[in-house]
Structures are given as structure tokens and as C-alpha cells.
């Protein structure tokens, strides 16, 4: 049972999984796939992998069997109020506007948490509604929570969670909305629990979309689409769009934001978060940044230093920039009128200069350049972003962030070898950058270079010594130390 699957077997299994469940497993995730298939084989009653793989490749799985298989293939890595700035945008802008419009009509709000895993997200949404609507008992609230993983839903339905689900959450969450059961277990209060309905469904099931067409006010689908094949992503995105009511809101994670994947939506920018809206209006006024107090030295779009990972996905276009106020641009340290102008910018020219009254600090200058590069890259101006990044490196050769940014752009351009070179240069400057070593290990796995991959994975493990399992690594999109270690161990075992 413990034998490793061959690349040929894994490739065939990936094709079967993609066809029947729609899930996509790139080569760098084959190690985890092999380990999870071994667990699935035991649950299906197979004593050896040979028989299991032969059965899996030749059998037509029924719905129950697909659910069992899916429960071993999907990852339940979530916690309450994940990406808190999304929830701030929700409670401070989206919900008040929705409540105001619904008060005059049916006083109903319908929200869908698609790919809800173990329930932390839909319960977080219920809590956000409870905090925002004073007379919530007078409203008809419907929160639909779906996931392909039935085991995760079983846990969600209990409403009982341990400390891992509360990492990075404020103290009031547990004290106000949970009962302390002792033994480090907390149960969500019935008032919140009863607001959520859990339903086992896959996003490749058209039946669920036909049942809720044009009915949802808000859809959360975070860290879900990344697991599907590109064909399924396109189809699911269209179905999700049709499920939203007019002026409804669509929320994906910061790592999934792309106006190219979701061209039918209008992106709306908030401090530290971007949400999509289904609307026929040509333009939606951005959130009023002037009403938000942001710590100095940066404010407005630029925010504080710790917010910059979230800015990597701002879907602003040249047209969007035209609508941004001079004050907001000033706070971001930029003076420009379009993405095309930014693409041609030279950091030493008058095209891109700070317009604050005070002297720009080196940190502000660095953050403004990173912002400008990300702005271009996320609008598809990859060549221009790369050019601007190279200019930044030429002017600040010892700033590792520019090398890592350049590596990300090169990966998007399918220039893996050049991306590896840039990552190595960045690590030379900052040897302790964990995600740099981790990304390099994955890139070498993709190239079939297991020797170099193991070297960089070992570097990651050394850097993580002494770190708690529940620590969230910077610029990892919420991945924990424990999860990073598991990925590395699985990869190193498979590629021995």
C-alpha cells in the first residue's frame, strides 16, 4: 500500500479526476495527490495501490464514490474572518448599501458561500450580518454553504471548532458568538448557526446553478477556482455570474483576482481588498478613501507596508485610473492618467514622481514602485511590468522585493528558467526569505530537477525551525507553517 505511484499513473489519474470532478492537479502537487490517494484507497477497502488505481481508471464512479474521493482531494485550510479587510468592506459598505435598498422591498438577503469547507466562512458571513443589521429578526436571511467534501460539511454542521479556526481573529469573536465547551473547543451560538444551510454540491453540478439563477445578492468563492481545470473555471465563472442578482457582489481571494478571468464583472476597490460587482452601469464610484484613517506614512490606495501583499491583485485599468481622485493618487505617491502612461514611466523621470509635500522616504519610494509594477502586471501589461521592474532593480540593486516581483512576472510569461535566476538573485540578497526558497523548490520539481528541489525545500525547513505550526507565512496567501511543511515532506518523499 505504501508504494509511490509512477508519474504515468499519476498523469492518468489526473485525467480521470479532471473529467469526473473537474479538479486540476499540476505536477508540483502530485506528491500530495499520491499521499491522498493512498488514504482514499484504504477507505474504499483496497489493500494495495495496484488494485485501487486499476479500479479507479476503469470504473464509472457513482455519486457516493465521487464524494468519498473528493473528500480526500480537497484541502480544508480556512479560519474565521479570513482576509479581514474583505469583511471590513462587507460590513462598512456592501451590507449597509444592500440593507438600504432591501428595506424598501422584501427585507431579504441571500448569500452563497461556494466551497465553504468546514464552515468558518459562512459562519463569518452570518456574524457579519448579525453585527450589521440591528433588527435582524425582521429580515429573511439565507446563507447557502456548499462544498464537494461531505466530511468537511459534517464538521461544519456541528458548529464546533478548536483554536486553529480562530487564528488571527479578534477576541470578541469567541466571547460573543461561541460557547466555551472546555478542552479548547468552542461551539457557535444557535442564533448564528441557524442562519446557515449546508448542502453537499460540486461547482461542476449544473443543477445547483439552475435552482438559484439571478437570486444571490453576494457570492463568496474564495480559494476554490484555483483547483479546477481552465475549462471548468470558465464555465463555473459564467454560472456564478448568472446566479447573481443585478448589482450583486462576487468575492474571490486576493490571489485569484483577475479582470481577465472575470471580465463580465466591474471591479470595485476598497482599502486592502477588491470585490467584483455585476452591474450594467459603466462605472461605480470607488470607495471614499478619505473616510478611512490609514497609518502614516502611506494612506489611501498605498495603505501600510503590511498591506502590500493584498495590493498585488488590484484590477485597475487605465480607465479606472482616470476616475481616481488626485488625492488618492497623491497618497499612493503617483501622478499619472493611464496604465499606458505608467507602462512608459521611468522612475527617474517626471512621468512617475511623488507629489506629496514632504520628502519621500526610501520605504515610500520602494512601496510606490512595487505598487506601480503590480498595477501593470495585473492588467496584463507583463512586458511593461517587467521593463519597469528591471528599471527598479537597476536603481536599487540591493532590494530583494524587486527580484521576487520579477520572478512572479516571468512565471506568468512562462519563462521558468529566467524566473529561477531572478529568485536566486533575490535569495542571495535576502537568504531568509522563506517563500523564495519554497517557490524555487516547486519550480525545480516542475522541471524534474529533484536534487535542486530538495536543496531549497531543506532550506525552507531549516528556516521554519522554531516556528509554530499555526504561524501564517508572509506573502503565502494564508498558508500555515504546518501546511508548507506537509507539502515539502510529501514532495521530498515522492521524488526520492
Q: Considering the domain boundaries, does residue 405 fall inside one?
A: yes
Q: What is the CATH number of the domain that holds 301?
A: 1.25.40.10
**CATH number of the domain residue 27 falls in:** 1.10.155
Q: Are residues 42 and 118 in the same domain?
A: no
Residues 261 and 363 in one domain: no
Please write the tens of the pLDDT for every residue from 218-248: 999 988 887 788 788 888 888 999 999 999 9
Question: Where in the sequence is the domain holding 246, given as residue range(s)?
Answer: 84-277
CA distance 10 to 282: 47
261 and 301 assigned to the same domain: no
Is 282 among the domain residues?
Answer: no
Position 379 pLDDT exceeds 70 = no
If asked whether residues 271 and 321 sit together in one domain, one would say no
333 has a pLDDT exceeding 50? no
The pLDDT assigned to 315 comes to 35
Is residue 1 domain-resident? no
Verify that 263 and 318 share a domain, yes or no. no
Domain boundary among 39, 73, 107: 73
Same domain, 367 and 239: no
Would 284 be classed as within a structural domain? no
Lowest pLDDT segment from 29-43, 324-338, 349-363, 476-490: 324-338
Q: Is the pLDDT of residue 354 over 60?
A: no
Q: What is the domain-level CATH number for residue 207? A: 3.40.50.150
Tally of domains in the chain: 3
Where a domain ends, among 255, 277, 299?
A: 277
Residue 284, pLDDT score: 45
Same-domain pairing of 16 and 132: no
Q: Identify whether residues 127 and 233 lie together within a single domain.
A: yes
Kindly report, residue by residue over 163-187, the tens digit of the pLDDT. 888 877 888 999 999 999 998 899 9
For strands 216-220 and 108-114, give the pairing.
parallel
Mean pLDDT lowest for which of 109-113, 133-137, 223-227, 433-437? Answer: 223-227
Q: How many CB atoms lie within 10 A of CB 333?
A: 24
- The mean of the pLDDT values for the chain is 77
Domain boundary pick from 277, 303, 336 = 277
**Could you tell me if residue 305 is inside a domain?**
yes
User: Burial level of 39, CB count in 10 A (0-12/13-18/19+)?
Assistant: exposed
Does residue 198 sit in the same domain as residue 343?
Answer: no
Report yes or no on 306 lying in a domain.
Answer: yes
Residue-wise pLDDT tens digits, 23-53: 888 777 787 788 888 888 988 999 888 889 9
Residues 304 and 173 in one domain: no
- 90 and 58 together in one domain: no
Most confident of 78-82, 91-95, 188-192: 188-192
Q: Does any domain span residue 283?
A: no
8 Å CB contact between 392 and 347: yes
Q: Provide mean pLDDT across the span 269-274.
A: 80
Structural contact between residues 215 and 108, judged by C-beta atoms closer than 8 angstroms: no
Asked, for residue 350, whether it belongs to a domain, the answer is yes
Is residue 443 scored above 50 in pLDDT? yes
Same-domain pairing of 378 and 426: yes
State what percent of residues in the chain have pLDDT above 70: 75
Per-residue pLDDT, 495:
53
Q: Looking at residue 256, what is its pLDDT? A: 65
CA distance 342 to 350: 11
- Say yes or no to pLDDT of 5 above 60: yes
Amino acid at each position: 500500500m505504501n508504494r509511490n505511484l509512477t508519474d504515468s499513473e499519476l498523469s492518468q489519474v489526473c485525467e480521470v479526476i479532471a473529467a469526473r470532478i473537474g479538479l486540476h492537479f499540476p505536477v508540483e502537487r502530485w506528491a500530495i495527490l499520491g499521499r491522498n490517494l493512498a488514504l482514499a484507497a484504504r477507505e474504499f477497502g483496497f489493500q494495495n495501490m495496484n488494485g485501487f488505481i486499476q479500479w479507479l481508471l476503469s470504473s464509472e464512479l457513482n455519486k457516493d464514490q465521487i464524494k468519498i474521493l473528493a473528500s480526500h482531494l480537497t484541502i480544508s485550510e480556512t479560519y474565521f474572518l479570513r482576509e479581514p479587510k474583505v469583511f471590513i468592506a462587507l460590513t462598512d459598505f456592501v451590507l449597509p448599501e444592500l440593507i438600504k435598498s432591501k428595506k424598501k422591498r422584501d427585507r431579504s438577503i441571500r448569500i452563497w458561500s461556494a466551497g465553504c469547507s468546514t464552515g468558518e466562512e459562512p459562519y463569518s458571513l452570518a456574524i457579519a450580518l448579525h453585527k450589521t443589521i440591528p433588527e435582524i429578526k425582521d429580515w429573511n436571511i439565507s446563507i447557502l454553504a456548499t462544498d464537494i467534501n461531505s466530511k468537511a460539511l459534517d464538521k461544519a454542521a456541528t458548529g464546533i471548532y478548536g483554536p486553529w479556526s480562530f487564528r488571527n481573529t479578534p477576541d470578541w469573536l469567541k466571547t460573543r458568538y461561541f460557547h466555551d465547551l472546555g478542552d479548547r473547543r468552542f461551539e457557535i451560538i444557535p442564533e448564528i448557526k441557524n442562519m446557515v444551510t449546508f448542502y453537499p454540491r460540486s461547482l461542476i453540478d449544473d443543477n445547483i446553478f439552475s435552482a438559484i439563477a439571478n437570486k444571490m445578492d453576494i457570492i463568496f468563492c474564495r480559494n476554490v477556482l484555483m483547483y479546477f481545470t481552465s475549462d471548468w473555471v470558465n464555465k463555473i465563472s459564467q454560472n456564478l455570474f448568472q446566479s447573481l442578482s443585478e448589482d450583486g457582489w462576487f468575492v474571490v481571494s486576493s490571489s485569484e483576482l483577475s479582470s481577465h478571468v472575470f471580465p463580465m464583472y466591474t471591479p470595485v476597490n476598497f482599502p486592502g481588498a477588491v470585490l467584483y460587482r455585476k452591474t450594467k452601469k459603466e462605472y461605480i464610484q470607488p470607495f471614499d478613501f478619505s473616510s478611512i484613517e490609514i497609518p502614516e506614512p502611506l494612506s489611501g490606495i498605498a495603505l501600510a507596508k503590511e498591506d502590500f501583499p493584498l495590493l498585488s491583485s488590484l484590477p485597475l485599468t487605465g480607465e479606472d485610473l482616470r476616475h481616481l481622485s488626485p488625492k488618492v493618487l497623491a497618497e499612493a505617491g503617483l501622478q499619472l492618467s493611464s496604465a499606458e502612461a505608467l507602462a512608459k514611466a521611468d522612475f527617474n523621470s517626471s512621468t512617475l514622481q511623488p507629489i506629496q509635500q514632504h520628502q519621500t522616504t526610501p520605504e515610500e519610494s520602494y512601496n510606490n514602485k512595487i505598487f506601480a509594477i503590480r498595477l501593470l502586471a495585473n492588467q496584463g501589461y507583463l512586458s511593461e511590468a517587467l521593463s519597469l521592474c528591471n528599471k527598479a532593480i537597476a536603481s536599487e540593486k540591493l532590494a530583494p522585493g524587486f527580484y521576487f516581483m520579477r520572478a512572479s512576472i516571468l512565471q506568468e510569461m512562462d519563462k521558468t528558467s529566467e524566473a529561477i535566476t531572478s529568485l536566486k538573485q533575490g535569495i542571495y540578497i535576502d537568504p531568509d526569505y522563506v517563500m523564495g526558497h519554497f517557490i524555487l523548490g516547486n519550480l525545480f520539481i516542475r522541471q524534474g530537477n529533484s536534487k535542486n528541489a530538495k536543496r531549497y525545500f531543506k532550506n525552507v525547513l531549516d528556516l521554519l525551525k522554531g516556528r509554530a505550526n499555526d504561524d501564517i507565512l508572509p506573502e503565502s496567501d494564508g498558508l500555515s507553517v504546518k501546511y508548507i511543511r506537509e507539502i515539502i515532506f510529501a514532495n521530498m518523499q515522492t521524488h526520492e
